[in-house]
Amino acid sequence: MGRRLIRIVIPGALLLFALWYGSYYTTILVWELRKLFSWIWLPVLLGLPWVIRPLVLRGRASAGGTAVHVLGGVSVVAGLVLGVCWLVYGAYLQDRAYMERTTTVTEPVPDLAARSPYVVGRAQAAPHLGDVTGEIADITYLPDSDRFATLVERRGWLAGYEVGLVQEVPLGSGGRSQQRCEFEVDTADARIGGWFGHNLGRKISDRQRWVRFDADDVYVTCRADGTPVVVVPLKRQTGILVVTERPAGTALYDGRTGRLTITTDTAAVPGASYPLSLAARQREATAAVGSFSDWWFERSGWDASEDGANEGNESDFTLRYRDGTGSAYVTPLTPQGEASSVVAVSTVPTRHQGSSLAPLTVHRLDPTWASPKAIVALIKAEYRDVCCYNDDRVFEVAPTGGSSWTATIGSEQNIRYRVEGRGQIGGREVTCLKAADGALIRCAYAAPGSPEEQELKRREEDKRKTETPAAPPGTGDLSAYTPEQLAELNRRLSEEINRRLKKT
């Protein structure tokens, strides 16, 4: 008996120790099993009689065995049917769980600051990396500093990151400040998806078990002293029968010392601390805003606008509030179905304190917008002299607050113009062409009393004053005229004499 116990206890203890020591793989295993259990618990529970049937049949009469056999078969069939039903209804409950912090309002979207399109920031990363030999792993917009960050992986299986690049891609400015920070490859040799001890995810699990992350949420920043910092927003699981994710702080990986710090203090994070993937999941869950039947037949909720105009960045724009109070993930929303007009705009803060979901606010628009594709067609029709030639095209049509949107025009290497508009494109609302830096050029139609109309009138008045010389101080004394006024008077006198001679 003692030997048999030893044979069972020792291998079991070694197995438990190996699972506990392998924190990275046990975390992945627990995450996947927990999600799997939330879907299959019902059919497993109802199928237990079928599993235990052979045990019950031992030592029993055939009649009793037949009854258990029938019970087991019925349980399996019921388990399969109810399991399929739970798969459907459980997905609806999961969406409802993600909607616990969602509110729908009719208030306008707060004013948002325009920025360079994401595809432009991505295109301008590679030319500024110089002699870097690695591969670009991620490009992220940093709203706090209004810059784009590029994270570059070092080539090789047992290697980490090579360099981080934070560059300014301004609208309408020739100067592009940039900061390049190098990783210490000997001490900071881990990266997301690395091998063995060079796996940053393994290091995070060693420090804090049961948290995971999305690789697309990871980004880099550069400190003032040139130290690169890899920021990894973390997530945790919650729930048993309905399993969802919640924020779990942020991991900061020092690119010089290799030190890993896990914090829940958003002030310590140099950029966005709330996972973008979690914000996107909350937005997708708005399909469950109505009843189960509405969710099943796709009669409720909203989708991100996907008509091709914002190709490369169709949803979750990271934008700063114009008053400097923070930033948000912003997405134009269309109703489910064939409609393509933008009827709402969702916002989720990029910074969030605590372990609960960040609030998602759906701002209903009145009036609604035309689709981004229709807006692009309008821009090409009304401002055909500036759009679009050679490599120029219309980039992101991004919401900028209230009922306004901003579209940028140019190439991936040079943003030349922006078009700002409000409301439906078929109405009398204003659409104005501006230089990339925001200087007003002209408007297709300036609404009476609007700031654009006042600005255009002021410019016209200034132009008229500069083109028309001032009236002379008197008509009797020519000595008071300036040389320019005398030349203008002589020109007008000659034209009048010629005109009268032609009549005679």
Residue 445 to residue 41: CA distance in whole angstroms: 62
Q: What is the pLDDT of residue 285?
A: 95
Of 101, 98, 84, 83, nearest in space to 239 by CA: 98
pLDDT in tens, 72-122: 666 667 767 777 888 889 899 999 999 999 999 998 888 898 888 888 888
Question: What would the two tokens of residue 326 be?
Answer: 């923070």
pLDDT in tens, 19-42: 655 788 889 889 999 988 887 777
Residues 284 and 235 sit within 8 Å (Cβ to Cβ) = no
Residue 219 to residue 198: CA distance in whole angstroms: 18
Residues 163 and 181 sit within 8 Å (Cβ to Cβ) = yes
Range of lowest pLDDT (98-107, 313-322, 434-443, 489-498): 489-498
* Per-residue CA distances from 331 to 26, 70, 139, 140 (Å): 36, 54, 19, 16
pLDDT in tens, 374-417: 888 888 888 888 887 777 888 888 888 767 888 888 888 788 88
Q: How confident is the model at residue 12 (pLDDT cuts 50, 70, 90)?
A: low
Question: What would the two tokens of residue 181 be?
Answer: 């920070």
| β-sheet bridge partners, residue 251 | 232, 262
Residues 199 and 253 sit within 8 Å (Cβ to Cβ) = no
Q: Which residues of 342-362 are buried (b: 16+ CB within 10 A; e: fewer)?
A: bbbbbbbbbbbeeeebbebbb
Contacts of 289 (CB under 8 A, 6+ apart): 99, 102, 104, 300, 301
Q: How confident is the model at residue 227 (pLDDT cuts 50, 70, 90)?
A: very high
Q: DSSP readout, 443-455?
A: EEEPPTT-HHHHH
Phi then psi for residue 380, to 5 deg, are -65, -30
Phi then psi for residue 134, to 5 deg, are -80, -175
Residue 180 to residue 126: CA distance in whole angstroms: 12
Contacts of 373 (CB under 8 A, 6+ apart): 307, 308, 309, 340
Residue 176 one-letter amino acid: R
Residue 47 to residue 80: CA distance in whole angstroms: 9
